[in-house]
Amino acid sequence: MERVKLKSMLEQNVRSCRMCHARVTTAFVLVVIALIVYSGPSSAAQAQSPLTNAIGAVQPKMVKLYGAGGISGLEAYQSAFLISADGHILTVWSYVLDTDYLTAVLGDGRKYEAKLVGADPRLELAVLKIEETDLPHFKLAESPPAAKGSRVLAFSNLFNVATGDEPASVQHGILSVKTQLDARRGVFETPYRGPVYVLDAVTNNPGAAGGALTNYRGELVGMLGKELRNSLNNTWLNYAIPIDQLTGIVDDIQAGKVTAQAVKAKSQRRRVNVAQYGIVLVPDVLERTPPFIEQVRTGSAADKAGLKPDDLVVFVGPQVVKSSRSLLDELAHAQDGAPVKLVVMRGQELVEVSLDAPEVELLEPEAREDAERE
Amino acid sequence: MTIDLLKQRPTLCATGPAGSRLALLAILAFAIVLQSVPVSAAVDPAVAKAEADRVTVVEKASSATVAIFAPGGQGGGSGVVISADGYALSNYHVTSACGKAMKCGMSNGELYDAVIVGIDPTGDVALIKLLGRDDFPFAEMADSDQVRVGDGCFTIGNPFLLATDFKPTVAFGVVSGVHRYQYPDGTLLEYADCIQADAAINPGNSGGPMFDAQGRVIGINGRGSFEKRGRVNVGVGYAISINQIKNFLGHLKSGRVVDHATLGARLSSDQNRRPIVDEILDDVDVFRRGLEYGDEIISFAGRPITTVNAFKNVLGIFPKGWRVPLVYRRDDQVHEIYVRLRGVHREAELIARAAGGAKPPEGRPKREPKPGEPKQPKPGQPKPNDPPPDGPEKPPMPLPGGPAKEESPLPEIVKKHFVERPGYINYFFNQLNQDRVWKAFTARGDYSPLAGNWTVQGELLAGGDFQIELSDQASMISLPGGRAMVGMAGDLADSLDPPGSGGLLVTLGLWRRMLAGGPTKFGDVYYLGTAPLVGREGLFDVLMATHNSVESQLYFDPASGQLVAWEMFADTELDPCELFLSDYREVEGRMFPFHVEVRYGDGVYQVLQINKYAFAKPQPAEGS
């Protein structure tokens, strides 16, 4: 009967949709997918029990973290989850971890001092450890991929709703799409460049970063990212980083191959400025100072590439550069050691050049913070 | 949901811009695919049934949901009808913007007048009554303690006051957390033991119902966590649990401002995270029952207590004055006591605050300090949890008897259901319930002819005979140990004989006074609401009766109408004398108890096994 109804609707569509827009089709496709997805559990009541069990299995693996913050709108808490029986905890790298007094509270209310084992600020992840054994945990290696359109659960201590032995908050949603975050550089302020699961639920709230994204069977599929706002249209992105993006580095950290110090150094080295390429820009005095080159130091990478004074930089890689500030930002995101392609306007002509990456010295932490505050 | 989407498609197409051939092809391709696959693969009949069931549940739930509009259109929210005669629940912060009367739109497109019945400002709950029908569609209330994280739920209401045609908005979600605690704003709007869900709760949803998947009310929406994204849902909303509201429902029907409870003791976590008594007042019931500094709380009102938050959750669901069991551990000994909870506010203070009166100098601390607890956000930073969506900053409720505010005249039907009296939100409903309780009690006989002296004889369970003489002037008892007598005219609070009874003679004298004279002649009598009794199932209707300087609480069994307990408080800092009245039998056409247990403090004073009542003819009043 259902089929007949669908069919008649389809025919109606075909008749009346001569002028139909593709968007409508997409909606229809989604509806059909939804119907297929829905066809698992036969009723809401029957679906409850396994879901409750899945949630019950995840909750003891969740961790509430308390650390630095608590001033000027920065929450002093975030979420995390256990990834080994011996107390390894995976979370998002953030200012909250920037303290010697990091507290981890387990699902049953047990409280521990957590130590930073290692971190990768580029992937925005950190591995912590507490001294305990026989802990319930997620096995990262067994994390399944999650398909577009699949139903997911987000576990986190958003808004620090839960304290002590109170379980993490659970939200439900649909995995809207798996996409690349770096396509939107200059829009989303995050160092993470890679695939993300975009979610249709408001999961990325204060304190939710580091939370677990699971499927409806309670299997870990992603780690909730930080709050991320699109600076162009002020909308907020709700996303999680797929676990397969994290497993390699997490293994390295757990194996002791990556230490917290090495990672910090790596993150600092990334901060490159134009001077290191041998470029001197015109003074940045306007809200959007055009990135004109004032001088090129002899023998520098810029010199070798053939850049000239009065060149106006218009592209870094595929990104349009609108101001000195955005040029600095784009260069700062350039990959270590890789050449950078620039397009400059020289007179009426567009010239493409390739800059070799400069050998850069480490910035002192203070200088780095200044640079980040620009 | 999906079916609805499909139904809307032709409209979408008609208004859609010129599209691509690809789209058409895609549709054709789908049509072919669907035609070629077996029926079962297209839509599982179970899915279709689940779909149909859900539509039915939502339809039924929608029919009980109301869109509340303040007179003059300045604000509003949502509500839900819980009985066929039109009682409906909402938030205090919604009705406070409405005053005495409000307009309620239902999904059938009809607009009804409604009147305020009672408010609970601390719990952010209001009871209103829709008028004009006795067959309103209403929603069943679930047992919200059975709600589990991950359960499907949906909210229905009037977000952003969209429901101008009174058709409410429905949003699905899952339960994100149960037994959540959300801090109050000062002492008001505390969300204890609430339900957290990711179903959308937006401004205007306040006061509206949260349903379980079967369409039963599990809570009343009223609050959300917001932050930098503005006052729109971010997947974190809170509903006051319906079980809490059930505890308060009787009180709300009394037409009063209802208060929440405190223990009179403060807990903190020790180094092992156990909740320990940190501070205790010396003039409260829990102190008299023996709780001391350093005791570990194990369970409260039947719920295990492992954290301070869990304790506050349980405390937050009870009205002032209720008696609940408390289990504590001291030196490896476990003790169980029954504790009478005191109010959070003084009566006048609460009424003033509900009326939007001057703010008290200081509310309770936002968070009780817990040694060794993880660092908390310091004050000064934006609060993670804003006040409820529609904000308590709405104009204060114009309380009856408060400063006269110009108001639009009340509709006729509201006037018939509203009585102004200082100290009450709507005295009409207090009178209604007083009358109901008294009528049920006197249904088996009118006690008013018994204005003469009463003689009661019988045996004590402990052995020996007793005789009691009760008159307008005095009460007297003869016990095997001797006689005691108190005058009923002097200060009754000073006449607590016989010793150790807490004032048995005064209590018996007042009992006779109430039966023979009725509530109107007794003194100041009002309907308090409903409360439990130690050792008895269910809730009992309670009348509060003040005569002379003593206050009495009378408990009536709602099923039989019988007076089952009388508690006489000579002083708020003293234990009451309690009579438990049972074994009612007929005496000269009226029902009288033949078994009376007299309790005081922690023990039983005497058990009176009555075998004879004798009533003298009323004497003509002397000198008048």
Does the distance separating the beta carbons of A109 and B306 come in below 8 Å? Answer: yes
Residue A329 has pLDDT above 80, yes or no: no
A165 to B306: CB separation less than 8 angstroms, yes or no:
yes
Cis status of the peptide bond prior to B498, with omega within 30 of 0: yes
The per-residue pLDDT for B542 is 97
Does A80 score more than 90 pLDDT? Answer: yes
A19 to chain B: closest CA residue: B18
User: Is it the case that residue A264 has pLDDT exceeding 90?
Assistant: no
Average per-residue pLDDT in chain B? 84
Over residues B382-391, mean pLDDT: 41
- Rounded to whole angstroms, the Cα distance separating B426 from B100 reads 8
Q: What is the pLDDT of residue B247?
A: 97
**Domain B264-343+361-384 shares a fold with domain B434-615:** no
The better pLDDT of the pair A249, A41 is held by A249
Bridge partners (DSSP) of residue B571 are none
Determine the distance in angstroms separating the CA of B329 from the nearest CA of chain A, rounded to an integer.
Answer: 21
Tell me which residues of chain B, numbers 24 to 63, contact chain A at a CB-CB cutoff of 8 Å: 24, 26-28, 30-31, 34-35, 39, 42-50, 53-54
| Predicted local confidence at residue A100, as pLDDT | 86
- Model confidence at B41, pLDDT cuts 50, 70, 90, reads low
HSE (CB half, 13 Å, CA atoms) of B93?
26
Most confident residue range from A289-293, B150-154, B227-231: B150-154
pLDDT at B241: 97
Q: Which of B71-75, B330-334, B531-535 has the lowest mean pLDDT?
A: B71-75
Query: Which residues of chain B have a CB within 8 Å of the CB of A38?
Result: 2, 47, 50
A52 and B CB contact within 8 Å: yes
Mean pLDDT within B273-300: 93
Q: Mutate which of A8, A10, A14 to test chain B, going by most B C-beta atoms within 10 A? A: A10
**A174 SS3 class:** strand
Confidence of residue B230 (pLDDT cuts 50, 70, 90): confident
Is the predicted pLDDT of residue B214 greater than 60, yes or no?
Answer: yes
**pLDDT tier for residue B313 given thresholds of 50, 70 and 90:** very high
Q: What percent of chain B has pLDDT over 90?
A: 67
Q: What is the mean pLDDT of residues A319-327?
A: 83
CA dihedral A9, A15, A21, A22 (to 10 degrees): 60
pLDDT over 60 at B199, yes or no: yes
What is the pLDDT at residue B346?
A: 84
Q: Does A285 touch chain B (CB under 8 A)?
A: no
Tell me: pLDDT of B163 over 80. Answer: no
User: Mutating which of B195, B305, B375 best tests the A interface, going by the most A Cβ atoms within 10 A?
Assistant: B375
Of B16, B179, B273, the CB nearest to A19: B16
Task: Give A99 or B238, the one with higher predicted confidence.
Answer: B238
Region label for B338, one of left (φ > 0), alpha (ψ between -120 and 50) or beta (otherwise):
beta
Q: CA-CA-CA-CA torsion for A32, A37, A39, A41, nearest 10 degrees?
A: -150
Contact B39, B28 (CB under 8 A): no
Probe site for chain A from B43, B51, B56, B311 (most A CB atoms < 10 A): B43
Contacts of B176 in chain A (CB under 8 A): 169-171
Q: Residue B563 above 80 pLDDT?
A: yes
Find the mean pLDDT for residues B12-24: 38
Give pLDDT, residue A199: 95
B489 touches chain A (CB under 8 A): no
pLDDT of residue A47: 43
- Under the banding of pLDDT at 50, 70 and 90, the label for residue A164 is confident
B19, B151, B233: residue with CB nearest A22 = B19
- Tell if the CB–CB gap between A43 and B50 is shorter than 8 Å: yes
> What are the pLDDT digits (tens) for B330-359?
999 999 999 999 998 887 888 887 776 333
Q: How far is CA B183 from CA B189, B377, B399, B452, B527, in A?
A: 8, 13, 26, 56, 30
Residue pairs spanning A and B at CB distance below 8 A: 242
Residue A175 has pLDDT above 80, yes or no: yes
Q: Provide the residue type at B317 as one letter.
A: I
Whole-prediction pTM: 0.77
State the CATH architecture for B144-245: Beta Barrel (2.40)
- What b/e sequence results for A20-50 when a residue is b if at least 16 CB atoms lie within 10 Å of its CB, and e otherwise? bbeebbebbebbbebbeebbebbebeebbee
**Band (A157; pLDDT cuts 50, 70, 90):** very high
Give the confidence band of B377 by pLDDT, cuts at 50, 70, 90. Answer: very low
**Structure confidence at residue A363 (pLDDT):** 40
Q: In the structure, what pLDDT confidence band is assigned to residue B617 with cuts at 50, 70 and 90?
A: confident
How much helix, strand and coil, in percent to the nearest 5, is found in chain A?
30, 30, 40
What is the distance in angstroms between the Cα of A208 and the nearest Cα belonging to chain B?
A: 12
Q: Does B304 touch chain A (CB under 8 A)?
A: no
Identify which of B7, B149, B213 has the shortest CB distance to residue A170.
B149
Regarding predicted confidence, which is higher, B535 or B614?
Answer: B614
Q: Residue B3: what pLDDT?
A: 29
Least confident range of B155-164, B284-293, B334-343: B155-164
Instruction: Report CA Rg, chain B.
Output: 29
Of B16, B49, B309, the CB nearest to A163: B309
In chain A, residues 217-236 whose CB comes closer than 8 Å to chain B: 227, 236
Instruction: Please check the confidence at residue A36 and state whether its pLDDT lies above 70.
Output: no
Tokens matching residue B256: 């009063």
Q: What is the pLDDT of residue B620?
A: 67
Query: Given the structure tokens 């006269």, which residue do they identify?
Result: B404
Residue B442: partners with Cβ closer than 8 Å, 6 or more residues away: none
Q: What is the CA radius of gyration of chain A?
A: 25
Query: From the list A10, A75, A159, which residue is nearest B34 (CB)?
Result: A10
Q: A38: helix, coil or strand?
A: helix
Query: In this structure, what is the dihedral angle of CA atoms A79, A85, A86, A88, given to the nearest 10 degrees?
Result: -30
Question: Taking the domain B264-343+361-384, which CATH number applies?
Answer: 2.30.42.10
A 10 A CB-CB count for A71 gives: 11
| Mean pLDDT on B276-305 | 93
Q: How far apart are CA B536 and CA B322, in angstroms?
A: 13
**Under a CB-based contact definition with an 8 Å cutoff, are residues A54 and B62 in contact?**
no
State the smallest CA–CA distance between residue A160 and chain B in angstroms. Answer: 8
Q: Are strands B76-81 and B454-460 parallel, antiparallel or unpaired?
A: unpaired
Over 50: is that where the pLDDT of B20 sits? no
Q: Is the ipTM of this complex over 0.85?
A: no
At B190, the pLDDT band (50, 70, 90 cuts) reads confident
User: Does the structure show a pLDDT above 50 at B400?
Assistant: no
What's the confidence (pLDDT) of residue A139? 94
Residue B221 has pLDDT above 80, yes or no: yes
In Å, how far is A365's CA from the nearest CA of chain B?
25
A282 backbone φψ class: left, alpha, beta (φ>0; ψ -120 to 50) = beta
Q: How far apart are the first and last CA of chain A?
A: 64
Is the per-residue pLDDT at A218 higher than 70? yes
User: Higher confidence at residue B172 or residue B73?
Assistant: B172
What's the mean pLDDT when you consider all of chain A?
79
Which residue of chain A is at minimal alpha-carbon distance from B153? Answer: A44
- Given CB atoms, is A183 within the 8 Å cutoff of chain B? no
Residue numbers of B annotated as active site: 93, 124, 206
Quick: pLDDT tens for B79-114. Answer: 999 999 999 999 999 998 888 999 999 999 999 999
Average pLDDT over residues B585-604: 94
- Residue range B434-615 in CATH 2.50.20: yes
Structure confidence at residue B317 (pLDDT): 96
- Note whether B132 and B98 are within 8 A (CB): no
pLDDT at A25 over 50: no
DSSP conformation class of A309? T
| Domain ranges, ordered by start, for chain B | 5-35, 144-245, 264-343+361-384, 434-615
Candidates A23, A42, A236; nearest CB to B50: A42
DSSP string, B65-125: EEEEE-GGGS-EEEEEE-STT-EEEE-HHHHTTTTTEEEEEETTS-EEEEEEEEEETTTTE
